[in-house]
């Protein structure tokens, strides 16, 4: 990584305040998905390493959990300042390991840093309650205490912000953390850990384990008795497994899982705004985002006007390696991702979908796919049920508002939904009827540290961000103080 100053590129994991190798000495390579160039190697840790990390987090918990909230907040504020100051280097590392366009990585550093800042502020607002008593001789109080050691497992598609969205509220609440970043994107995580160390985070409070054996290491994280909370962002299949494993020791759990976001355009929508919103929502991170529009549902009365304008906007997107000037759509993260998108494309075409633009591998080769619009899409096609996770926009039409809502809700997922409309009564009706944890109305971008992020149905449990963020990392303790006369 010639343009990245070496100090932020760590090839060791971080346990108990020490930069460390795997006990086995094994390492694994991390490559740029745009060209397979080697970025570096990191330790390939196993059950013994992650157990050491959990024990370190457990040992650090008494001092960290009883530190003054203001002192925890001050360290988080310094971490925020360091992340902001190193924004460009972090963004370059991120683009190299996950392929997203540099402009998006720079945006993600800002977005990710905002969770640290927000959590620092919230650290001092973990208030308890005093309940009006039911007996003259006693008083009833509720404390909110940190839950204990937190196991955080994060994905490759947002290598920085999914870490700060979990780790900073956990630390603010007084928890200690063992973090396992995705195998494909460990360098952003390691750089974040270095900046946390420089900000004064004590040894053992944040531990970072890199591995290719997510199954084994995640198994230890979700079953170890010293871990009291598991927080995970990733696929619904893995989320279900972690939930089942965590049940053995009844851990608290937060899951941000898959989505199948509908993007509805009603007859009364502002077409230009809807096109802009659909591009922003669908093609963010080349479509590899849990909250990406997965299906575009257009009401018949506006379809003829919307589809050509949307298709023309998709055709203007610049496909290029993430570090190239003006890149808007980068490569898929890996060959598995490419194969899935291609399978869904072929299935849709075989079931009668028409390709309005794109529809095949990009001339750049490798993991680049042409930004694609499919029309004539029906519920018979797998792309309406599965998360595409690529730059393909299937367009379906519907007749009535009720039909649009029914199509939108016809999924086991319930993370994000979007719709464009102008009529205020419709806005309320549709907003209330969509079975999703988050609904973007006349916007394709909804994510912010100050609002609750999370899904319903098989899209997850719990919320991240907002004033509720720290609740997920605390337990309520009821004190009944009797004998007061």
Helix axes 69-85, 87-98, angle to 10 degrees: 70
Catalytic residue, from 55, 92, 175, 290: name it.
290
Joined tokens for residue 28: 């694994």
Q: Is 98 a catalytic residue?
A: no
CB nearer to ligand SIN: give 163 or 220: 163
Cα distance between residue 148 and residue 350, in whole Å: 52
- Least distance from C-beta 157 to ligand SIN, angstroms? 6
256 vs 458 by CB, closer to ligand SIN: 256
Residue 331: how many CA atoms within 13 Å on its side-chain side?
25
Q: Does 233 bind ligand SIN (CB under 6 A)?
A: yes
Specify whether the CB–CB gap between 47 and 39 falls below 8 A. Answer: no
8 Å CB contact between 365 and 320? no
By CB under 6 A, residue 182 contacts ligand SIN: no
Check if the beta carbon of residue 398 is closer than 8 Å to that of residue 409: no
The answer to whether residue 447 forms part of the interface with ligand SIN (CB under 6 A) is yes
Q: How far is the CB of 82 from ligand SIN (least distance, A)?
A: 22
- Alpha-helical (H) ranges within 271-334 are 271-283, 300-315
**Catalytic one among 97, 104, 197, 256?**
256
Contact between 158 and ligand SIN (CB under 6 A)? yes
Measure the CA–CA gap between 435 and 206, rounded to whole angstroms. Answer: 36
Site map 242..281 versus ligand SIN, x via CB under 6 A: --------------x-------------------------
Question: How far is CA 434 from its chain centroid?
Answer: 21
Residue found by looking up tokens 């160039």 in the block: 37
- Does 231 engage in binding with ligand SIN (CB under 6 A)? no
Q: Map the footprint of ligand SIN across residues 283-302, applying CB under 6 A.
A: 289-291
Size of the site for ligand SIN (CB under 6 A): 9
Q: How far is the CB of 447 from ligand SIN (least distance, A)?
A: 3
Q: Which is nearer to ligand SIN, 15 or 279 (CB)?
A: 279
Q: Least Å distance between CB 435 and ligand SIN?
A: 19
Nearer to ligand SIN, 186 or 454 (CB): 454
Which CB atom, from 306 or from 418, has the smaller least distance to ligand SIN?
Answer: 418
Residues in 324-363 that interact with ligand SIN by CB under 6 A: none
290 an active-site residue? Answer: yes
- Total length of the chain: 485
**Cα–Cα distance measured from residue 397 to residue 378, given in angstroms and rounded to the nearest whole number:** 9
**Nearer to ligand SIN by C-beta: 294 or 357?**
294
Sequential DSSP letters for 51-111: HHHHHHHHHHHHHHHHS-HHHHHHHHHHHHHHHHHTHHHHHHHHHHHH---HHHHHHHHHH
Q: Which member of 51, 105, 157, 211 binds ligand SIN (CB under 6 A)?
A: 157
Q: How far is the CB of 474 from ligand SIN (least distance, A)?
A: 22
Per-residue CA distances from 389 to 45, 60, 399 (Å): 28, 39, 27
Instruction: Give 148 or 155: the residue with its C-beta nearer to ligand SIN.
Output: 155
Tell me the CA distances in angstroms from 70 to 74, 77, 123, 128, 150, one per residue in order: 6, 10, 7, 16, 21
Residues found near ligand SIN in the complex (CB under 6 A): 157-158, 233, 256, 289-291, 447, 453
Name the residues annotated as catalytic. Answer: 256, 290
């Amino acid at each position: 990584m010639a343009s990245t100053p070496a100090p932020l590129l760590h090839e060791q994991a971080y346990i108990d305040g020490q930069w460390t190798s795997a006990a086995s000495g094994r390492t694994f390579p991390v490559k740029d998905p745009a060209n397979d160039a080697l970025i570096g190697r990191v330790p390939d840790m196993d059950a013994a390493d992650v157990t050491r990390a959990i024990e370190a987090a457990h040992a650090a918990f008494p001092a960290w959990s009883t530190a003054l909230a203001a002192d925890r907040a001050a360290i988080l504020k310094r971490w925020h300042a360091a992340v902001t100051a190193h924004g460009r280097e972090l963004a370059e590392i991120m683009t190299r390991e996950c392929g997203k366009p540099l402009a998006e990585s720079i945006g993600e550093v800002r977005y990710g840093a905002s969770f640290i800042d927000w959590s620092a502020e919230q650290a001092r607002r973990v208030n308890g309650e005093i309940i009006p008593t039911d007996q003259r001789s006693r008083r009833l109080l509720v404390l909110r205490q940190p839950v204990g050691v937190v196991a955080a497992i994060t994905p490759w598609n947002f290598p920085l912000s999914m870490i700060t969205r979990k780790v900073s509220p956990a630390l603010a609440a007084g928890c200690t953390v063992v973090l396992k970043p995705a195998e494909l994107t460990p360098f952003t995580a390691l750089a974040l850990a270095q900046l946390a160390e420089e900000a004064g985070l004590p040894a053992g409070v944040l531990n970072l384990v890199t591995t290719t054996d997510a199954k084994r290491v995640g198994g230890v994280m979700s079953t170890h008795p010293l871990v009291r909370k598991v927080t995970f962002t990733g696929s619904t299949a893995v989320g279900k497994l972690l939930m089942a494993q965590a049940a053995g020791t009844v851990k608290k759990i937060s899951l941000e899982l898959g989505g199948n976001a509908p993007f509805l355009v009603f007859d009364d929508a502002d077409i230009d705004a809807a096109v802009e919103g659909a591009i922003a929502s669908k093609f963010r991170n080349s479509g590899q985002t849990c909250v990406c529009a997965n299906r575009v549902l257009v009401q018949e009365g506006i379809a003829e006007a919307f589809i050509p304008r949307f298709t023309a906007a998709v055709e203007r997107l610049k496909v290029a390696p993430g570090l190239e000037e003006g890149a808007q759509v980068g490569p898929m993260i890996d060959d598995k991702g490419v194969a899935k998108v291609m399978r869904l494309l072929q299935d849709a075409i075989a079931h009668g979908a028409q390709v309005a633009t794109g529809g095949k591998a990009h001339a750049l080769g490798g993991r680049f796919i042409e930004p694609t619009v499919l029309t004539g899409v029906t519920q018979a096609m797998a792309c309406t049920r599965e998360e595409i996770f690529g730059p393909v926009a299937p367009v379906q039409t519907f007749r009535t508002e009720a039909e649009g809502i029914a199509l939108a809700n016809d999924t086991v997922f319930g993370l994000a939904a979007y719709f464009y409309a102008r009529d205020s009564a419709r806005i309320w009706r549709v907003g209330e009827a969509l079975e999703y944890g988050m609904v973007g109305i006349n916007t394709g971008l909804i994510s912010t540290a100050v609002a609750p992020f999370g899904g319903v149905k098989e899209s997850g449990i719990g919320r991240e961000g907002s004033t509720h963020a720290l609740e997920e990392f605390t337990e309520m303790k009821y004190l009944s103080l009797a004998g007061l006369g």
